């Protein structure tokens, strides 16, 4: 098995240079600084050709504005070598710098993290989650009122203000 290395991957925010100055935290984790995190809507995370992920292992991308609360954004594997991951709008608000972290984790663990994390690596899955929430709301009425979509939007905005990733959780 190859030793985990900081030169296996990179991260880029649209319009910015590639972040590749990762520093090892331990044998399976590393971090790098990102400036002006509130200006970032999404990150592209990619594996470089020299990357040698061990079998049944993923590189998981995390984000933190305060070094204590880490949010999983998504993961890469030998089968999926790049991805675009959205940052929830509240992440990084008010911070001058934030950290991205990469951890080498078992594929089974990474799959579970992607299901409950705040990041959305699959835009189709994101759209389907929102559509399921709308459908559940509409079908909760015996006869949906004419303003059902307006009501749903108000409910959605209130729920989103409390928990920006509520729609990703199993219902």
Question: Where in the chain are the domains?
Answer: 6-116, 123-164
Predicted confidence (pLDDT) at residue 170 exceeds the cutoff of 70 = no
**pLDDT band for position 151 (50/70/90)?**
very high
Structural tokens at position 133: 């929430």
Q: How far apart are CA 170 and CA 3, in angstroms?
A: 36
126 vs 130, residue with greater confidence: 130
Average pLDDT over residues 115-128: 55
- When computed from its CA atoms, the radius of gyration of the chain, rounded to whole angstroms, is 18
Whole-structure pTM value: 0.67
Helix (H) or strand (E) holding 44: strand 42-47
pLDDT at 91 over 50: yes
- Order of strands across the sheet that contains 82-86: 9-12, 42-47, 82-86
Region 104-130 average pLDDT: 65
Do 152 and 146 contact (CB within 8 A), yes or no? no
* Nearest CA among 121, 97, 126 for reference residue 44: 121
The DSSP symbol for 3 reads P
Would you state the pLDDT for residue 162?
A: 75
Share of the chain above pLDDT 70, in %: 82
CA distance 153 to 62: 30
Which tops the pLDDT comparison, 89 or 65?
A: 65
**Which residues have a Cβ under 8 Å from the Cβ of 104 and sit 6 or more positions away?**
4, 28, 29, 53, 54, 57, 58, 59, 60
């Amino acid at each position: 098995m190859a030793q985990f290395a900081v030169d296996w991957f990179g991260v880029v925010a649209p319009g910015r240079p590639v972040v590749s100055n990762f520093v090892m935290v331990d044998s399976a984790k590393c971090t790098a600084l990102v400036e002006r995190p509130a200006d970032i809507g999404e990150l592209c995370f990619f594996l470089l050709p020299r990357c040698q992920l061990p079998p049944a292992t993923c590189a998981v991308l995390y984000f933190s504005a305060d070094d204590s609360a880490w949010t999983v954004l998504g993961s890469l594997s030998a089968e999926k070598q790049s991805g675009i991951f959205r940052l929830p709008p509240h992440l990084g608000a008010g911070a001058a710098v934030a950290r991205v972290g990469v951890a080498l984790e078992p594929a089974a663990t990474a799959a579970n993290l992607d299901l409950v994390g705040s990041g959305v690596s699959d835009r189709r899955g994101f759209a389907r989650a929102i559509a399921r929430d709308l459908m559940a709301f509409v079908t909760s009425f015996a006869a949906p009122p004419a303003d059902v979509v307006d009501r749903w939007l108000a409910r959605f905005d209130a729920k989103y203000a409390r928990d920006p990733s509520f729609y990703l959780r199993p219902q």
